[in-house]
Amino acid sequence: MNLLFAPLRWLDRNAERTLILFAYSAMALIIVYAVFERFILKTQIPWSTSIPIYLFLWVTWIGCSHNVRKRTHLNFNDIRVRLPYKGQFACMCLDAVLWITFGVIVLYYTIEQTRLVEMNFAIVQGTDNVMQWWFYLATPLAWALLIFRVLQNLKEDIGRYLRKEPFIVDIQAIGQD
């Protein structure tokens, strides 16, 4: 049974980092090759300026999800560490409610926008068959993953609260992944 869950545990630990690495590497390779081609070969790939911009959507939104999981994205720990135990727990619950609320709003509108771009067959500038919606899909997918990460953190926080263990509110205490 442990062997069955090993890939899921690896995916849980590395999903965001793998996607970020892939998107960032692709961006860098396209840009480096485009510069080489422009200055050495005196020509240019028409899509070399548009695809990296679209890949940046994947890097930023998946990066946001990654940092939410690590509890390093948009937090106010200076205030939180000075609160009593129940106040810290209340703030963590409030964080989760706010993240989920905002995430649902983002999901609603970005799914609609992505579907609209897909239905209009919008093509990336400079290409013949690369669809824009493939890149716009980054936002709803990353925000769905972000909501999942928030729920994971909330579950962990509730468990700590019930066991009366100290919360992880100091970024230094989290450690490096």
Does residue 61 form part of some domain? yes
| Residue 174 resides in a domain | no
Identify whether 30 is part of a domain.
Answer: yes
8 A C-beta contact, residue 98 and residue 68: no
Q: Identify whether 15 is part of a domain.
A: yes
Residue 83 lies in a domain: yes
How many structural domains does the chain have? 1
* Residue 84: HSE in the Cβ half-sphere, 13 Å Cα cutoff: 1
Can you tell me the distance from the alpha carbon of 111 to that of 51, in angstroms, rounded to the nearest whole number?
21
Token digits of residue 36 = 């080489």
Indicate whether 176 belongs to any domain: no
**Residue given tokens 């422009």 in the structure block:** 38
What is the model's pLDDT at position 122? 92
Per-residue pLDDT tens listing for the chain (177 residues): 678 788 888 888 888 999 999 999 999 999 999 999 999 999 988 999 899 999 999 999 999 999 988 888 766 677 788 889 999 899 889 989 999 999 999 999 999 999 999 999 999 998 889 999 999 999 999 999 999 999 999 999 999 999 999 887 655 544 444
Return the pLDDT at 10: 86
Whether residue 27 is contained in a domain is answered as: yes
Domain extent for 164: 2-169
Q: What is the pLDDT of residue 116?
A: 95
Strand partners, 131: 123
177 within domain boundaries: no
d(CA 127, CA 156): 46
